Amino acid sequence: MSLLFRNVRLLDPASDTDRPGSLLVVDGRIAALDPMGVPEGAAIVDGGGACLAPGLVDMRVQLREPGAEHQETLATASAAAAAGGVTTMVALPNTTPPVDDIAPVEFIARRAREIRGTRIFTYAAVTRGLAGRELTEMGLLAEYGAVGFTDGEKAVADALVMRRALSYAATFGLLVLQHPEEPSLAAGGMMNEGEIATRLGLAGITPAAETIMVERDLRLLEITGGRLHMAHVSTAAAIEAIRQAKRRGLAVTCDTAPPYFALNETAVGEYRTFAKLSPPLRSEDDRRAVVEGLADGTIDAIASDHAPHDQDSKRLPFPAAAAGIVGLETLLPLSLALYHDGRMPLLEVVRRLSTAPARILGLNAGTLAPGAPADLVLFDADRPWKIRVDEFRSKCKNSPFDGRPVQGRALRTYVGGRLLFEWTA
């Protein structure tokens, strides 16, 4: 019941800790940093100088259960998450049926307990059936465990509905999350609007579709109060709008995903459907703006935006292919590129992956403080390897990063002090 990590580099963004040390776990919780004594019979893990950090908190994951278990289940996603150092996942509500009532919230909680893998939470829908019209019972759903409210891959397009949602959520202190894309501007679009889309003969999605929705919702936030989170921001103009809103004191946060700082629209190449995302991969200028937004703190968190699709959904002509990629097992190494490229300190990268999303969602995670759950990742920030999709534990392999050399690998992942994953060479 006791576990001592020694000879590790402690990384705790919650206390701005980055130093060599040791950590003691007792009964599934962190007991002490640099303990004076060790309980008799404690298991000892010699980290060999590797980094010990709070487990990653992935705040945007599509788990496909219930309704599309052929693409992913809570169990397979949990195994993939553990392999990537993720100890907490938050699921989008776009399942079948959608999470717009109490029963699906309870179902996910029960299945997570049965699996005994990573911790799994869920968002609930903002509107019934994700239809964008009638609001769900947010207060009641929150009581049963929903940690936020979003229509998932769909934007809440109607401004009056969004205003009512923000007002309703503010009454209970709840978080509303938006997919920032004005749907009429994005309709029929397949990739970023620009020269490459024109050359390929593909309908483009203007970056303004994101900016317009962000700016509209920031105005609504001003008049309603409450808390708003923008998911997977990808454009320079939208990031600048959020930056200015924060300076005005609005309670807005945002996240991005690794493809938006690791790739640009050229990754589409010759109709490469594994590089078809929503929002689409943007221009190089936008990619650089995402990196800058992470570096200066405008972008609060990094999420995997895990969207598993089977071969039948991806190996289609580009217009017909589904949008989205898997990301649980590549979240850590792709994010560590920000550190290796000198754009962010290592502690700040870990903050975006763990402490910040936990605080946004009010979860008891993302810290090495004594008394906190022992949800931990031991990782080697410098270990080189190559991404191989055929080694993924996720059911689906739809990733544009196959074969990409990276640095940084999760060595061990613990949830509540239980070892869920151990990497073997």
**CB-CB contact of 274 with 244 (8 Å):** no
Domain membership of residue 184 (yes or no) is yes
Domain membership of residue 316 (yes or no) is yes
Which residues, 6 or more positions from 29, have their beta carbon under 8 angstroms from its beta carbon?
Answer: 370, 371, 372, 373, 374, 416, 417
**Same domain assignment for residues 144 and 292:** yes
Active site residue 305: yes
Catalytic residue among 255, 305, 375, 380: 305
Domain membership of residue 368 (yes or no) is no
- What is residue 47's predicted lDDT score, i.e. its pLDDT? 97
Tell me which H or E stretch contains 214: helix 208-224
Q: How many domains does the chain have?
A: 2
**Same domain assignment for residues 43 and 59:** no
**Same domain assignment for residues 168 and 83:** yes
**CB-CB contact of 130 with 121 (8 Å):** no
**Same domain assignment for residues 22 and 72:** no
**Same domain assignment for residues 347 and 389:** no
Which CATH number is 191's domain given?
3.20.20.140
Strand partners, 227: 175
Domain membership of residue 366 (yes or no) is no
Three-state DSSP at 58 gives strand
- Mean pLDDT by 10-residue block, N- to C-terminus, for the chain (425 residues)? 96 98 98 93 96 98 97 98 98 97 97 97 98 97 98 98 98 97 97 97 98 98 96 98 98 98 97 97 98 98 98 95 98 98 98 98 98 98 97 97 98 98 92
**Same domain assignment for residues 203 and 319:** yes
End-of-domain residue from the set 329, 361, 393: 361
**Same domain assignment for residues 46 and 169:** no
C-alpha 276/C-alpha 313 separation (Å) is 11
C-alpha 52/C-alpha 413 separation (Å) is 10
- What is residue 1's predicted lDDT score, i.e. its pLDDT? 84
Which CATH number is 394's domain given?
2.30.40.10
- What is residue 425's predicted lDDT score, i.e. its pLDDT? 76
C-alpha 71/C-alpha 285 separation (Å) is 34
Q: Nearest CA to 273 among 183, 395, 387, 191?
A: 191
- pTM score, two decimals? 0.97
Domain membership of residue 39 (yes or no) is yes
Residue-number span of the structural domain to which 18 is assigned: 2-51+374-422
**CB-CB contact of 331 with 325 (8 Å):** no
- What is residue 394's predicted lDDT score, i.e. its pLDDT? 97
C-alpha 61/C-alpha 149 separation (Å) is 14
